[in-house]
Chain A
Amino acid sequence: MSRKAFFRAGWVLMTLAAVGVALLWMTVGGARRIFLIGETTAAHHQIELACESCHTAPVFAAAATAEQALNKACRNCHEDELAEADDSHPRKMFRNPRMAVYWDKLDARLCTTCHAEHRPEITRKGAVTVAADFCRACHSEGDQDVRTDRPSHAGLAFDTCASAGCHNYHDNRALYADFLAKHANQPWLTAAPIHTLSARQRTPAPAGETALERSDALAPVAALTDPTALDQWTGSGHAAAGVNCAGCHAPEVAPDAPVAEVEARWIAAPPLTVCRGCHKAEANTFARGRHGMRQHPMIAPPRDAAKTAIGTVLPETIVRWLADAPHPTRMTVREARLPMRAAAAHKVLDCGTCHQPHAVDVGQAAVKACVTCHDDPHSQAYVGSPHHVLWQAEQSGAAAPGTGVSCATCHMLKSERRGVIATSHHQNDGLRPNTKMIRPVCLDCHGLGFAINALADSGLVARNFRGRLAVHVQSIDWAVRHAASETENTGR
């Protein structure tokens, strides 16, 4: 073999080997970070290596099939949220053949039309990857031309639709015209500024029949020698609700089991599954937010190389080498894209990171846990802010329950269903965009106009609402004028 032939053969063999290894990594198992075409958005970066969570189409599927599968994956995780938000532009609206004329302009049947992943250069706020004036696609011509329908909108640029605090594409529950008109002229602060659901939640309930006392603690003798833990448990919600030490530390054991059995099956640090056993709603919502999204049930597990068609014929050593590394199930503070305190970088997010299971101090999870990690201007400005002063007053007992405003008050949205108040642990639910907080949080204490203006004032938000408003969103004024003209027209 000549030198040239040797090198040519070597080139071909090395090319084939490199392609073969890459193909195995793509289809069987192994490192796949190198195939990422760009930085993943903050929404998905934690799960970027669980590729099959989104890329669900079969191998070498047609482009249309792959696109449909990708969009189905979006809906798998986000459809419920959109339904809860009473989506203003639901997919079903655009699937109507009468809307076909818009498909070429902006195909709103597909999530990926506006939210393409791994495209950092064109990714804007809210993971939107189309230009800010995208409303122009459908609302600049014919019947849909908002500028002719609404005199107030004549001359407005399309890039202000969503940026001026007036409209959201999906969630307009606090921004639609009738709602604005109805809540116009409200004072900036209500007569009784109390967050009702928080007030009800924080009002101590009378001790029930099932409430446990210190002497009822069911735990190994060694565990009972920790007076701090015992004291904390005695005054905790767990004890009040009749949850004994063994309920979490020996969940497999019957409530009336002897101490010896409890000792035998005692778990020093109960896993998340134990918390989830009782706090299903909290665990489910936790998995929908950034803090716990790695536990979302729709996240694809690591590929089992041995079970793939190619894996079955490959030697075990290669299959072992190809095996996907286990996906991390919890986020570390170090991975956050927001500014975080360096001292908290090592923290791993699960229930115990924010909640001290033995402690009664609700302020720990509502404020302290947040500011221990978060180091952005808004978080830094919280301490000493008007909301914090109210929170301190409530904590000290000087003010009534529900008057204080903690981090959790605004960012852990509360809802009531069948008399039960649930706290959503999807902590960024109200931030996409922030006007989602208006109805469940802000309006309990503030007028709609003030709330809209305050949330549109990025400087005020950064200062955690310390200081004066510098932004006035005209939407309420226009809605009131529009309602008046409608009434006038009806009268005629």
Chain B
Amino acid sequence: MLTFTEELVLLLNDEDGVPLLIRPDIAACALAGAVLMDLAFDYRIDTDLDALVVHDQTPTGNAVLDRLLAKIAVRAEVCNTKMWIGVLSTEEAPAVHEEVLARLVERSVLTVRTGRIPWLESRRYLCGDGETAQKIRQRIATVLYSHDIPDARDVALISLLDACEILPEILPTQELADLRPRITLLRKMDLIGREVAAAIADIERSIIQAVRDRAARFRKLLLFLSAVAGSAAGATFVLPRVPVADSFGAALRMHLWFDSGWQLWTGYALLALASAGILAVVLMKVRRIARFGGHNWWRLAHAGLGVACVLALFVHTGFRLGANLNAALMVCFLAVLILGGIAGVCNNAAGELRRMGVPPRVRIIPMRLHTVALWPLPALVIIHVLAVYLY
């Protein structure tokens, strides 16, 4: 029998082994919740309003769960469920994901398909028996579409998927809307023992809270910043350029855009902001650094730096496209900013886009193009700087 965590990991990929379009921090929350639910169903942990406590340290026989059980047990500080979800999602989720995938491969539930280039490890996890993941989906569908009394674990899994907004990625949006009363009913069912039920309910509440906190935190601000950055960069192609000053004197625009000394410093400021923007994304993916401030702060920093880059680009160029290499650099920079803005909007308005029927494969396109547009940017910037110093 598979654990919650293993079933969740199986559901995080589609039939072709392609990961679903779920925000990494939300998926991490789901994994942390699944681990706690597994431990609760095995009577290893209990929860109350103030603390999550280990009342049985006996190993479960599952290496992943036992490792995390030990981690929870040795912690001297008293933490409640919400705090543990925070800790596990930032510190353990990627490792748990890898370990669970390895276990599933070991048990032939999944098979690994490597990339076409032999020495290049590009792994995709496919269902080894072709049935297990399908059976889980069928089980969920059966619970949702029938009026039978479901299994407690299935209800808990559905609640977890619903709390983490993974259900919309599995079920068609319209059907999900019709099923909403049934999901609400299922979550209210008292199908398990009181102690476990209390713990599961607490975990669900904490996950919902954590996911909502994460999803809602800075959402509007991120949406605003992304829209501002993208549209301001896009406006370059529409708005007329700021005209050249007709009278001699200390016109700021003449200094900014035609004085090589001023351009040097505004250029360095732009370079610093762009580098910081890229660094924010890189650091967001480094586990030990990302836990400082959380995923959303790094996303906010990235979006904020994107807007700052648009402003700095205006100060540096007046949105003049330039010629030759400079034109290539400017177009590349603007493409990165515009696509970044669109990607930010798609990311932070995922729910709205889902309801509008925009499929995940379309929603991910701006993000991928944003990354592709970034490729030539460092080379163009370095050549631009070298050309400035050489000529």
Does B237 belong to the interface (CB within 8 Å)? no
In the complex, the answer to whether A55 meets B248 with C-beta atoms within 8 Å is no
Q: Which residues of chain B come closer than 8 Å to A60, judged between CB atoms?
A: 389-390
Q: Which residues of chain A come closer than 8 Å to B379, judged between CB atoms?
A: 14-15, 18-19, 22
Instruction: Report how far A55 CA is from B386 CA in the complex, Å.
Output: 14
In the complex, the answer to whether A22 meets B246 with C-beta atoms within 8 Å is no
In the complex, the answer to whether A51 meets B248 with C-beta atoms within 8 Å is no
The stretch of B114-122, B166-174, B214-222, B346-354 in contact with A is: B114-122
Does B181 belong to the interface (CB within 8 Å)? no
Contact among B115, B258, B260, B264 for A3, CB-based, below 8 A: B115
Does A72 belong to the interface (CB within 8 Å)? no
Q: Which residues of chain B come closer than 8 Å to A86, judged between CB atoms?
A: none
Instruction: Report how far A324 CA is from B163 CA in the complex, Å.
Output: 66
Q: Which residues of chain B come closer than 8 Å to A39, judged between CB atoms?
A: 323
Contact among B246, B320, B378 for A15, CB-based, below 8 A: B378
In the complex, the answer to whether A11 meets B375 with C-beta atoms within 8 Å is yes
Instruction: Report how far A119 CA is from B121 CA in the complex, Å.
Output: 50
Does A489 belong to the interface (CB within 8 Å)? no
Q: Which residues of chain B come closer than 8 Å to A33, judged between CB atoms?
A: 324
Instruction: Report how far A60 CA is from B390 CA in the complex, Å.
Output: 6
In the complex, the answer to whether A18 meets B383 with C-beta atoms within 8 Å is yes
Q: Which residues of chain A come closer than 8 Å to B387, judged between CB atoms?
A: 22, 26, 35, 37
Does B245 belong to the interface (CB within 8 Å)? yes
Known: A3-B115, A35-B324, A37-B326. A130 touches B248 (CB 8 A): yes
- Nearest opposing residue in chain A for B261, CB measure: A63
- Report which residue of B119, B120, B325, B383 has the largest number of chain A beta carbons within 10 angstroms of its beta carbon: B383
- Report which residue of B115, B122, B248 has the largest number of chain A beta carbons within 10 angstroms of its beta carbon: B248
Does B244 belong to the interface (CB within 8 Å)? yes
Task: Bin the interface of chain B by size.
Answer: 20 to 34
Q: Which residues of chain A come closer than 8 Å to B258, judged between CB atoms?
A: 116, 119, 122, 129
Residues facing B in A90-139 (CB within 8 A) are 106, 116, 119, 121-122, 129-134, 136-137
CB proximity of A11 to chain B, nearest CB, Å: 6
Instruction: Report how far A18 CA is from B328 CA in the complex, Å.
Output: 14
CB proximity of A112 to chain B, nearest CB, Å: 9
Instruction: Report how far A122 CA is from B242 CA in the complex, Å.
Output: 12
Instruction: Report how far A74 CA is from B245 CA in the complex, Å.
Output: 26
- Report which residue of A19, A35, A38, A122 has the largest number of chain B beta carbons within 10 angstroms of its beta carbon: A35
Known: A3-B122, A18-B383, A26-B387. A38 touches B246 (CB 8 A): no
Does A309 belong to the interface (CB within 8 Å)? no
In the complex, the answer to whether A26 meets B390 with C-beta atoms within 8 Å is yes
Task: Tell me if A's interface is mostly helix, strand, loop or mixed.
Answer: helix
Our count of residue pairs bridging A and B at CB distance below 8 angstroms stands at: 90
In the complex, the answer to whether B115 meets A51 with C-beta atoms within 8 Å is no
CB proximity of B243 to chain A, nearest CB, Å: 9
Instruction: Report how far A26 CA is from B325 CA in the complex, Å.
Output: 13
Instruction: Report how far A159 CA is from B247 CA in the complex, Å.
Output: 8
Task: Bin the interface of chain A by size.
Answer: 35 or more
Instruction: Report how far A15 CA is from B374 CA in the complex, Å.
Output: 11
In the complex, the answer to whether A34 meets B325 with C-beta atoms within 8 Å is yes
Instruction: Report how far A289 CA is from B293 CA in the complex, Å.
Output: 67
Known: A18-B379, A19-B383, A36-B324. A131 touches B390 (CB 8 A): no
0/1 interface trace, chain B 130-154, chain A, CB 8 Å (1 if under): 0000000000000000000000000
CB proximity of B241 to chain A, nearest CB, Å: 8
In the complex, the answer to whether A132 meets B390 with C-beta atoms within 8 Å is no
Instruction: Report how far A130 CA is from B115 CA in the complex, Å.
Output: 60
Q: Which residues of chain A come closer than 8 Å to B249, judged between CB atoms?
A: 131, 136
Known: A3-B121, A19-B383, A122-B258. A37 touches B324 (CB 8 A): yes
- Nearest opposing residue in chain B for A140, CB measure: B248
Q: Which residues of chain B come closer than 8 Å to A2, judged between CB atoms?
A: 120-122
Does A158 belong to the interface (CB within 8 Å)? yes
CB proximity of B261 to chain A, nearest CB, Å: 7
Q: Which residues of chain B come closer than 8 Å to A3, judged between CB atoms?
A: 115, 120-122
Does B357 belong to the interface (CB within 8 Å)? no
Q: Which residues of chain A come closer than 8 Å to B115, judged between CB atoms?
A: 3
- Report which residue of B323, B378, B389, B391 has the largest number of chain A beta carbons within 10 angstroms of its beta carbon: B391
A positions within 8 Å CB-CB of B: 1-3, 6, 11, 14-15, 18-19, 22-23, 26-27, 33-39, 51, 55, 59-60, 63, 106, 116, 119, 121-122, 129-134, 136-137, 158-159
What 9 pairs across the A-B complex have the smallest Cβ distances?
A3-B122, A18-B379, A131-B248, A22-B383, A15-B379, A134-B248, A34-B324, A34-B325, A19-B382
B positions within 8 Å CB-CB of A: 115, 119-122, 244-249, 254, 258, 260-261, 264, 320, 322-326, 328, 375-376, 378-379, 382-383, 386-387, 389-391
Please, could you name 5 A-B residue pairs with CB atoms under 8 Å apart, sorted by A?
Answer: A18-B376, A55-B390, A63-B264, A122-B254, A132-B246
